[in-house]
């Protein structure tokens, strides 16, 4: 199974309303974990859904995301945060808290946010 197929299965089953959906989600995630590829981090973050019936299974996705290089994971999180905060505000808060509670992740997170602030300063000044 390729990454796109596995991600499509995760997305289709992310609410986990039946044992079959839970199994499909877990199997697709296990398949992705065999060959982790950071290029899909953005898509994987967007699988998170506050309406999921089995949060403990969704936490396995979060743990998979956190298994990647911290810089890649945080950059992907920041990139999708505007979408994620709409579709999964609780998961957005959980990730945010986990970043803040991890010293190295917190340092990198602050660096990225400061650089974003500097990139947006000319826009703020011109308005």
Say yes or no to pLDDT of 122 above 70: no
**Considering the domain boundaries, does residue 91 fall inside one?**
yes
**pLDDT single digits (tens) 32-59:** 999 999 999 999 999 999 999 999 999 9
pTM beyond 0.95, yes or no? no
Output the CA–CA distances (angstroms, integers) from residue 90 to 52, 54, 57, 103, in the order listed.
11, 14, 15, 22
Give the residue carrying structure tokens 């697709």: 28
**Considering the domain boundaries, does residue 106 fall inside one?**
yes
Structural domain harbouring 10 = 3-120
**Considering the domain boundaries, does residue 64 fall inside one?**
yes
Task: Provide the pLDDT confidence category of residue 20 given band limits of 50, 70 and 90.
Answer: very high
**Considering the domain boundaries, does residue 104 fall inside one?**
yes
Q: What pLDDT score was predicted for residue 116?
A: 80
**Considering the domain boundaries, does residue 17 fall inside one?**
yes
Cα–Cα distance measured from residue 24 to residue 16, given in angstroms and rounded to the nearest whole number: 9
**pLDDT single digits (tens) 50-94:** 999 999 999 999 999 999 999 999 999 999 999 999 999 999 999
| Cα angle: 107, vertex 112, 115; to 5 degrees | 125
The total number of structural domains that make up the chain = 1
CB burial class (10 A; 0-12, 13-18, 19+) of residue 58?
buried
**Considering the domain boundaries, does residue 82 fall inside one?**
yes
């Amino acid at each position: 199974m390729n990454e796109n197929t596995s991600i499509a299965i995760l997305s289709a089953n992310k609410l986990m309303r039946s044992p079959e959906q839970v199994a499909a989600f877990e199997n697709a995630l296990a398949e992705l974990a065999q060959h982790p590829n950071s290029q899909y981090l953005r898509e994987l973050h967007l699988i998170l859904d506050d309406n999921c019936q089995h949060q403990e299974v969704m936490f396995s996705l979060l743990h998979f995301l956190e298994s990647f290089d911290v810089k890649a994971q945080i950059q992907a999180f920041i990139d999708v945060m505007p979408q994620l905060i709409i579709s999964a505000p609780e998961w957005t808060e959980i990730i945010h808290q986990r970043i803040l509670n991890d010293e190295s992740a917190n340092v990198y997170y602050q660096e990225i946010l400061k650089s974003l602030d500097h990139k947006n300063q000319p826009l703020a000044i011109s308005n």
